[in-house]
Structure 1
Amino acid sequence: MLTLHIKNETSRLQAVVLGTAKSNGPVPSIEEAYDPKSLQHIKAGTYPKEEDMVPEMEAFSAVLKKYNVEVFRPELIENCNQIFSRDIAFVIDDYFIKSNILPDREKELDAIQYVIDQMNPSKVITPPEEVHIEGGDVMLWNDYVFIGTYKGKDYPNYITARTNMHGVQFIKDMFPDKTVKEFDLNKSNTIARDNALHLDCCFQPVGKNKGIIHKEGFRDLADYEYLVRLFGHENLFHISKDEMYHMFSNVFSIDSNIVVSEKNFTRLNKWLQEQDFTVEEIPYAEIAKQEGLLRCSTMPLIRN
């Protein structure tokens, strides 16, 4: 039996689902692109190749195992992109909540059914149909749950808007003792530098009281200011539009003092080291071309 336990983003990690880049399938057509960054690379002929992405994910797996984390991988589905396990489900406290994801990604959940089978069935939750929510938009900070959303009336027009207000309300109803705070994010179907696909594309806590943030990712300045008040300006590492595009805020914490980061994130990695973090640097630039990075590739199940 897997006893799920996730209260925040940075406590010591015990068990995680890490996606896989094997049998990733052909390069998508322009019509099949889920996000503007993938679209850009499809058009430019620079979409990442499986043989370049597999070693990146194996380097990540090796770092997790170095810290004695139990790593589950999805069963292989032929010609299917199974990299971003964060999208398909997430854990809050001891509940495993399935995302109502884009319909053609349902089979990605089937590929981790062997993990779900190890959980208490009463703790596995399938939200109602009107609830749209993805793990990249859900961020735990002890008594807080931060949720990225998009409040524009044109929500249905954005394939990049993945979590709706029904999703926010669902979490509020399910966890009445927590402070559930939603953040209205900037979306673009066509311009990657203007698109915060998920909350973890423009904000993520690290350590006990610090965070990485991109001010322009928020449609409402008050949402950004809320986080500045909560964390303190001096504890936040502000990233530029270019750094957001390269996914600087999508690192991954193994512990409150251990962060896995992309090796090219020089400015961020230097700051983390100055704040006494151990930074495990790995190559992940090919996977980043699909508008996802380290946090997107993981689904934490147990943290101490």
Structure 2
Amino acid sequence: MLKLHITNETGRLRAVVLGIANQNGPAPKAEEAYDPKSLEHILAGTYPVESDMVFEISAFHDVLERYGVKVYRPELIPELNQIFSRDIGFVIDRYFIKANILPDRAEEWRAIEHIVKQIAPEDLIKAPEEVHIEGGDVILWNEYLFVGTYKGDDYSAINTARTNRKGVQFLKDLFPDKIVKEFDLIKSMTNPRENALHLDCCFQPVGRDKAIIYPGGFQNPADYLYLRKLFGDENIFTITADEMYEMYSNIFSISEDVVVTERRFDRLNYWLRNQRFHVEEVPYHEIGKQEGLLRCSTLPLYRD
């Protein structure tokens, strides 16, 4: 059986599901966009082409293999976007939780069923239909479980709202020994610089005690202050709205000391190196046009 173990974002990675970009299908129509950044590029005629996305995700794959990570891939379903494996499931401790994602993306689950079948049945949890959670909204940090949500009364009408209150409560009930902290996120379907699609679009821990944060991603300023107090001012890299738009907080940790980032993130990469991280830079700008980056492309299964 496939062993699972995830207790934080930065333990030494041993096994991961990495999305694929092959036979991704044509650029969607404007009315088919899931987020404002994709919509922006669809309307501008700059939506990424398959060959560029395959090249970028292959570069990421090469880095993971170079560090000895076991990389699982979804089965290919033609004409289906299968890049962002983070959303369809996530591991907490030894449990794999099947996410309830947008109905239009439900086929993505079928593409990883061959992996899920290797998990012990007692370690697989499927949320009830009314419970909405996507993996990008779930950040595990030792005894803390950070969860992005949207609490507006118009939740059902907001396409970029992916985790509801019932999703938060579901995790609280499942993991009563963890400190579950929810964050009400800013959402927009028209302005990508005012849309925190998931929690990892505006916040992510790195290393042992540091974090990347965009303060403007939170509805309640007290939530940002909570994180600032928890991590400490000296350990926080604060990003701008433009950097949030470029997905600066959506990098990926292979270990406490090694991070994979986009090669254009000059300011962040300089800071990380100054903090004594080993930075692996890869091209991921084209994939980023879909409002997802390196963390979004991964579903970690085992970390030391």
CA distance in 2, matches of 1:244, 1:106: 27
Identity %: 66
Matched, 1:33 2:33: yes
**Letter aligned with residue 201 of structure 1:** C
Aligned to 1:109: 109
CA distance in 2, matches of 1:15, 1:295: 14
- Cα distance, 1:113 vs structure 2: 0.9
Aligned to 1:175: 175
SS in 1 for 2:289: helix
Aligned to 2:193: 193
CA distance in 2, matches of 1:157, 1:289: 23
CA distance in 2, matches of 1:104, 1:292: 17
CA distance in 1, matches of 2:100, 2:209: 31
SS in 2 for 1:55: helix
- Cα distance, 1:156 vs structure 2: 1.3
Length-normalised TM-score, structure 1? 0.99
Q: Deviations over 1:157-190 (max 9, x none)?
A: 2100000010000000000000000001000011
Aligned to 1:143: 143
Gaps of 5+ in 2: none
- Cα distance, 1:154 vs structure 2: 1.3
CA distance in 2, matches of 1:234, 1:148: 24
Matched positions, count: 304
Aligned to 1:235: 235
- Cα distance, 1:122 vs structure 2: 1.1
CA distance in 2, matches of 1:140, 1:68: 23
**Letter aligned with residue 158 of structure 2:** Y
Aligned to 1:290: 290
Aligned to 2:118: 118
Q: Deviations over 1:55-110 (max 9, x none)?
A: 10000000000000000010000110000000100000011001111112111111
CA distance in 1, matches of 2:149, 2:103: 19
**Letter aligned with residue 161 of structure 1:** A
Gaps of 5+ in 1: none
Aligned to 2:57: 57
Where do 4+ consecutive residues of structure 1 move more than 2 Å?
Answer: none
CA distance in 2, matches of 1:120, 1:271: 41
**Letter aligned with residue 10 of structure 1:** T
Aligned to 1:97: 97
Aligned to 2:87: 87
Q: Deviations over 1:120-176 (max 9, x none)?
A: 011111101110000000000000000000111111121000000100000000000
Aligned to 2:251: 251
CA distance in 2, matches of 1:105, 1:155: 18
Length-normalised TM-score, structure 2? 0.99
- Cα distance, 1:233 vs structure 2: 1.1
**Letter aligned with residue 77 of structure 2:** I
- Cα distance, 1:203 vs structure 2: 0.2
